Chain A
Amino acid sequence: MNQPRDFVIPGPVFCIGLAVFAAIYLALFLSSESQAAILVYMAAGGMVLLLNNMSELKPRLSEAIKGNERLCNRLAVAVVLALTAAFHADHYTLFLIGTILLYIVVVLGLNVQLGFTGVINFSCASFFGIGGYTSAMLLSKTSLPPLLALPLGGVCAAVVGSILLLPVLRTSGHYAALVTMAFALLFRIFLEVNDALGGPQGVPVRSMSLAGWDFGSDLVIGDLQMSFYVSYVLLGLVLLCLAFSFVRRIERSWIGLSLDAVRVDETASACFGVDVARWKITAFTIGNFLSGVAGALYAMMLAYISPANFTFGDSLIFLSILLLGGVGNSWGVVMATAVVVLVPEKFQVIQEYRYLIYSALVLLMIVFRPHGILPRKTRIYRPGEAA
């Protein structure tokens, strides 16, 4: 009963079509400079989404995606690879793609905390920053292999996060919100006044290098010259794939079930043996770890980090990406991150006004469409299982 009766195009073909469409659309969008063209593309994208929502296509599309999950995951990776190939010499575009990939990792972590477990975290940008500063310090002060900075960044973020565990576990609701918010402000101020970490000016970060492959200089293969950001995009993609499948597997397991139970009703779940504290600790730590790992790589990609990269405002952006994408929905997160990162960067007309427009939009969204672009469905435990 997976397929509607009059399903003429087979699911896989549908998915491939969708991926090709997405790749072409994104390529056009990313390559255009003229503001008018970008406006047209955004309008077109919006129209397509709207039409899809209203038309017969939508249920078929979601059937096809659900039925061919593995294929869709691979296609998504293929789209990113295709875009990377298409823009292989374009520093700026590749940097945007890399940023999106790493932001998604952070928001996935936040999704485990807030979306699954309901643990509020207003300081995920701080944990992102802890990862970043860890890699900056490790690479400049020690001779550890740079790749090690990624897990260590995650571990540092998780360890620092564990200082907050006690207050986070004991408080709930607004009180818990305050704890992480206070931490976000504290962290930013701390970075600004701490000279060892570069103070308000920040610190340079050495680039990644992997077995002789230096991420800091442009890649030359044969007579093909590629931007050095290609390396970061590829590594970011690997990281994202790992994080994505990790989070997916958590969701589709008894752990995901326990996390959800904690979020929805702590008291009732405790009456059925759910260890509320254990799952809150697990979720908080996993989320901070993911933020930290992403932050470590992000710092290397930026080559220079400062406190201004990791403010409370950035935490709010991560949170609202999650809300826009649909809390708990991993694919929604992917889409929302792309929109939130790309639109202000490409649509320069609004550059100056972007925070204003962005916050106004999120505000409207919360008031009028609180479940986000893609609301979460009920859990299935195996890909392709019927709902």
Chain B
Amino acid sequence: MDVGFFAQFVINGLMLGMMYALVAVGFTLFFGVLDVIVFSHGDVVMVGGFTGLSMYFWLERMYPHLSPGPKLLCMALVSMTVIALLGAAVARSVILRLRAAPSLNTLLATMMLGTVLRESIRLFYPDGANPKPFPALLPKWSVEYSGLTLRLDNLILFCIGALLIVSVHLLINRTRLGLAIRAVAQDEETARIMGVNFTLIVLVTFAIGSAVAAFAGLMNGLYYNEINFSMGLLLGAIGFSAAVIGGLGNIYGAILGGFIFAFLQTIGAVALPFASAYKDVFAFAVIIALMAWRPTGLIAEKTSERV
């Protein structure tokens, strides 16, 4: 197998990994503050993609001469804002109401919410049941080197993704807001006593995580040149897997998990002799095996139950 071919897989893997990491970060943030899994997050990513697409059509109609750069910026801003609000609304109307319920109920409720989002797009977005082509708005420029194509658009997407994750990380670790979020994640009761507005912090955290998801949705569209109402389910499952194998509540874990999953898929595609179609089967099988080996993720939480 030649080097170029192999490197191509590495690049694909990195792109996928970044996308998964962006989704997983949301899962892990929400788990951090509320100890819940918000399974609808994958579908929120999908809605983010569709919001961006709608914005694109609107811009096309209103300002047909706008160049792709500002257009994309506009799309990203609008989509991230709308989805941030959606995330906060989800937290307010569903997740916070279920605080006292068993965690299975929350998980199931958010799965149902995911279905609601998915079906709404399928039924109410014009021709939503079919895959939608996503406009290529990034420069198509690329360099070729012994069979390996390095595309500028991919590079840009990767860098913005990385930038986003780093900013979330800095936000959590270096700002007052982040301090409040960490306080809530540590211990809700104490945080309240210290004067942290619990509900507000939860809503803000959901807004942040969802905004990141919106970008993941756009990235998905730009990378595959297509979006699809049903992509959220698998993305959600992958984001969840990534967050869990990394170790829930840990941002590094989420990033690690995202890249591990992409790596597994890539390995599955390259190395499985019989059929690359089995790559997802392989990836999920490894996830299950990893869970058997490390039941609370690779970067495990170090708490034992108090009796």
Contacts and interface: CB of A to CB of B under 8 A. Distances in A.
Direct contact of A and B (CB under 8 A): yes
Given A166-B292, A171-B291, A359 B119 contact: yes
A370 B104 CA distance: 11
A360 B292 contact: no
B115 A366 contact: no
B38 to A, nearest CB: 11
Give me the 7 closest cross-chain CB pairs, A-B, nearest first.
Answer: A359-B115, A193-B277, A356-B119, A167-B292, A186-B284, A170-B295, A363-B112
Contacts of A193: 275, 277-278, 281
Chief secondary structure at chain A's binding surface: helix
A178 B109 contact: no
B4 to A, nearest CB: 27
Interface string A157-185: 00000001011001111110111011101
A267 B307 CA distance: 8
Contacts of A114: 104
Interface of B: 31, 37, 94, 97-98, 101, 103-105, 107-109, 111-113, 115-116, 119-120, 123, 233-234, 237, 240-241, 244, 248, 275, 277-278, 280-281, 284-285, 287-289, 291-292, 295-297, 305, 307
A312 interface: yes
Nearest to A174: B37
B305 A267 contact: yes
B296 A177 contact: no
A353 B241 contact: no
B69 to A, nearest CB: 37
Nearest to B277: A193
Contacts of A167: 288-289, 291-292, 295
A177 B37 contact: yes
Given A359-B116, A363-B112, 6 more contacts: A175-B296, A186-B285, A189-B280, A267-B307, A353-B123, A360-B112
Contact of A190 (B94, B281, B287): B281
A312 B118 CA distance: 14
Interface of A: 114, 120, 164, 166-167, 170-175, 177-179, 181-183, 185-186, 189-190, 193, 267, 312-313, 316, 319-320, 323, 352-353, 355-356, 359-360, 362-363, 366-367, 370
Nearest to A186: B284
A179 B291 contact: yes
Chief secondary structure at chain B's binding surface: helix
Contact of B94 (A172, A174, A363): A363
Contacts, number: 119
16 contacts: A120-B104, A175-B291, A177-B107, A179-B288, A179-B291, A183-B284, A186-B280, A186-B288, A189-B281, A193-B278, A316-B111, A323-B108, A356-B123, A359-B116, A363-B109, A367-B109
A356 B109 contact: no
Contacts of A316: 108, 111-112, 115
Nearest to B107: A177
Nearest to A313: B115
A172 B102 CA distance: 13
B237 A182 contact: yes
A171 B244 CA distance: 11
A363 B295 contact: no
Nearest to B297: A175
A263 to B, nearest CB: 10
B107 A174 contact: yes
Contacts of B104: 114, 120, 177
Contacts of B241: 178, 182
B237 A185 contact: yes
A174 B280 contact: no
Contact of B101 (A189, A353, A366): A366
A320 B284 contact: no
Contacts of A320: 108, 112
Contact of A181 (B115, B237, B292, B296): B237
Given A174-B103, A356-B119, A366-B108, A185 B240 contact: no
Contacts of A319: 108
Contacts of A190: 278, 281
A122 B37 CA distance: 14
Given A166-B292, A170-B291, A171-B291, A178 B244 contact: yes
A170 B295 CA distance: 6
Contacts of B291: 167, 170-171, 175, 178-179, 182
Nearest to B282: A186
Q: Which of B31, B94, B281, B296 has the most CB of A within 10 A?
A: B281
A355 B120 CA distance: 10
Contacts of A370: 101, 105
Contacts of B292: 166-167, 170
A171 B233 contact: no
B123 to A, nearest CB: 6
B296 to A, nearest CB: 6
Contacts of A179: 288, 291
